[in-house]
Amino acid sequence: MNADVFPTNNGSSHLNETKLRSQDVSLFYGKFQALRSISLDIPERAVTAIIGPSGCGKSSYLRLFNRMNDLIPDTRTTGHVELDGIDIYQRDVDVVDVRKRVGMVFQRPNPFPMSVFENVAFGPRRHGIRNREELSDIVERSLRQAALWDEVKDKLAHPGLALSGGQQQRLCIARVLAVEPEVILMDEPCSALDPVATLKIEDLMRTLCSEYTIIIVTHNMQQAARVSDVTAFFMMEDDRAGVLVEAGPTSGLFTNPKQKTTEDYITGRFG
Amino acid sequence: MPWSKLKDSDNKTNAGTSPKRFPRRSRHGERIIEGIITANGLIAIVVLVGVLFLLLRTGLPVFSHTPPWEFFFGTRWYPVSEPPTFGIMPFFVSTLWVAGISTLIAIPLGVGCAAYLAEVAPAHVREAVKPIIELLAGVPSVVMGFIGLALLSPYVQSLFNLNTGLSGLTAAIMLSLMSLPIIVSVSEDALNAVPHSFREASYALGATKWETIIHVCIPGAISGIAASIMLGVGRAIGETMTVLMVAGGALAVPASPTDPMMPMTAAIASGIGNAVRGGPQYQALFAIGIVLFIMTLFVNLIADRVLERQKRKFART
């Protein structure tokens, strides 16, 4: 059923190849079903936005792709989640490798209680880089990529938590970039930020998507419209959470939704 | 209409009485309770000051017959020879050995146990293990001494090929077990206070559980862990009965941890029964008490400071 509302891969020619694919994925927290057989292809080097009302399973869906749901006890996933065609929920897949390739930025900026430098160097250090010079290079490159270098280059030894909220969030993005992932998951990355900081992050996303595959969960439909190439709309129905209603190129979904529910939601009739 | 009506009826119910007032009632009960609570608070301070005063008044006169240099650095404690000598070096060094080694043992055990409980153990294991560890804190020290005497000392003796199993090391091992509960429970609280978002960020960067514990959780909780260690050290310094029973009670300055030794607490406890009240030995024992008091006071003050800092660290979130 989800397949015929989903035109991305066959319909629009300008979208890149599929990077991530979920096939008939369901997620259970104990007895509660948070996602209902979701099938969706995420195009490479593009921004995919996931929108929908609170509690519809957007974040749960996002956290499938780096297996963060594994950290919550008593969760169960069925179906297939593929990264470059390989099922990341297979038994022989090392979750550490998955998370190296699929980075994540969280809702609230959460820099470690360490210096700016150490925050960015955290990932590379964990993955075996000891050489101080090499680390410095990575830190500078990542901070530049995150458009933060000019603001913090004299404060590398300052605590990351001393930066402003928007800077902290870009620091978190730099921290992810330092690991050189292929995919960046963003879970409402601007919800704790002011409009100016939000714009900066959005600009950053547009720049980064030339190199990275980005998925962003957002409450803010304008944000989805501004930054994303593809939008997926999730919904809960009565007592059923985690339904994918419609997905497609952002311009099409916002101007000409195929489903009534989508239209109601994006015109602000509920949610 | 309804408004005016309401007002009318309101006036009617209050008819006869003057406009509403808040007459002051006397609350004697309240005052008495307040007084009692204040007195309780004061008692603690009075007792502390009293203890300090008593210690100083009884202990300080030791310097009238033994110069401070000889008292602190003298290696001979012969209270009954003529003339008596009171050098507390053997006791002081013993205390350092015993407290130091017990801390060295207790830190990895305690912090490891706390990290296991806070980060690794499933909820039902944590629920079961934590009360057991806290129960360990309730074991009377004389019982711990007995366990050390009967169970541990033979092992220490045969393992290190000693003349007697009663040694500083034996005492230190027992003390480390006794300071374990406080280290585990305070450290675990500190680990739990580290925001979950730090762990998530670490895992999301591809760090393993072990890396997350070592590089994120423990550094994040380090001041709480340091405080727990200080509290454990305080306990190890002040513990008397266990040490009296298993440390061996030798009067020489110990050179190795496997020597029998007599820490300061044990020296006071074993000496006070024979000392003439107000006599030179009595004064010297109280002076040891002053030194102990200052040591534990310092350790506790540092622990307090560090704990305070830990509380402020994550106040932001």
**Rounded distance, CA B307 to CA B311, Å?**
6
CATH superfamily of B68-316: MetI-like (1.10.3720.10)
Specify the DSSP element, H or E, that contains B86: strand B85-86
CA B297 remoteness from chain centre? 10
A105 domain residue, yes or no: yes
Q: Are strands B77-78 and A47-51 parallel, antiparallel or unpaired?
A: unpaired
Residues of the domain holding A43: 3-266
Cross-chain Cβ contact B313/A103 below 8 Å:
no
**Is A149 an interface residue toward B (CB < 8 Å)?**
no
Q: Residue B84: is its pLDDT beyond 80?
A: yes
Q: What is the pTM of this model?
A: 0.79
**Rounded distance, CA B168 to CA B304, Å?**
28
**Rounded distance, CA A250 to CA B143, Å?**
73
Output the pLDDT for position B314.
55
A230 domain residue, yes or no: yes
A74 domain residue, yes or no: yes
**Is A126 an interface residue toward B (CB < 8 Å)?**
yes
Among the listed residues A102, A142, A144, the one whose alpha carbon sits nearest the alpha carbon of residue A122: A142
Which of B122, B211, B216 shows the shortest C-beta gap to A112?
A: B216
Please answer whether residues B102 and B236 qualify as being in contact, where contact means their C-beta atoms are separated by less than 8 angstroms: yes
CATH of the domain at A223: 3.40.50.300
Interface test with A, best of B205, B311, B312 (most A CBs within 10 A): B205
How close is the nearest chain A Cα to the Cα of B3, in Å? Answer: 38
Is the bond into B83 cis (omega within 30 degrees of 0)? yes
Output the pLDDT for position B200.
93
Cross-chain Cβ contact B205/A123 below 8 Å:
yes
Q: For residue A199, what are the CA distances in angstroms to A173, A205, A206, B9?
A: 15, 10, 11, 60
Using 50, 70 and 90 to split pLDDT, how confident is the model at B303?
Answer: confident
Give the CB-side neighbour count of residue B275, counting CA atoms within 13 A.
21
A271 domain residue, yes or no: no
Cross-chain Cβ contact B200/A103 below 8 Å:
no
Tally of structural domains, chain A: 1
A72 domain residue, yes or no: yes
Among the listed residues B160, B203, B76, the one whose alpha carbon sits nearest the alpha carbon of residue A71: B203
Domain spans of chain B? 68-316
Cross-chain Cβ contact A179/B205 below 8 Å:
yes
Q: Residue B9: is its pLDDT beyond 60?
A: no
Q: What interface predicted TM-score (ipTM) does this complex get?
A: 0.88
Residue A217: strand pairing partners: A50, A187
Output the pLDDT for position A60.
92
Chain A contact set for B198 (CB, 8 A): 110, 112-113
Chain A contact set for B205 (CB, 8 A): 99-100, 103, 122-123, 126, 175-176, 179
The mean pLDDT value of chain B amounts to: 88
Chain B contact set for A96 (CB, 8 A): 206-208
The mean pLDDT value of chain A amounts to: 88
Using 50, 70 and 90 to split pLDDT, how confident is the model at B19?
Answer: low
Q: pLDDT tens-digit profile of A97-107?
A: 999 999 999 99
Output the pLDDT for position B28.
83
Cross-chain Cβ contact A66/B204 below 8 Å:
yes
Output the pLDDT for position B292.
93
Q: Residue A127: is its pLDDT beyond 50?
A: yes
Please answer whether residues A217 and A50 qualify as being in contact, where contact means their C-beta atoms are separated by less than 8 angstroms: yes
Chain B contact set for A175 (CB, 8 A): 201, 205
Task: Sort residue A55 into left (φ over 0), alpha (ψ -120 to 50) or beta.
Answer: left
Most confident of A54-58, B209-213, B308-312: B209-213
CA A4 remoteness from chain centre? 24
Output the pLDDT for position A8.
39
**Rounded distance, CA B83 to CA B81, Å?**
6
Cross-chain Cβ contact B203/A161 below 8 Å:
no
How close is the nearest chain A Cα to the Cα of B317, in Å? Answer: 10
DSSP A193-251: S-HHHHHHHHHHHHHHTTTSEEEEE-S-HHHHHHH-SEEEEEEEETTEEEEEEEEEEHH
Write the CB contacts of B131 (distance below 8 Å, at least 6 apart in sequence).
none
Q: Residue A9: is its pLDDT beyond 60?
A: no
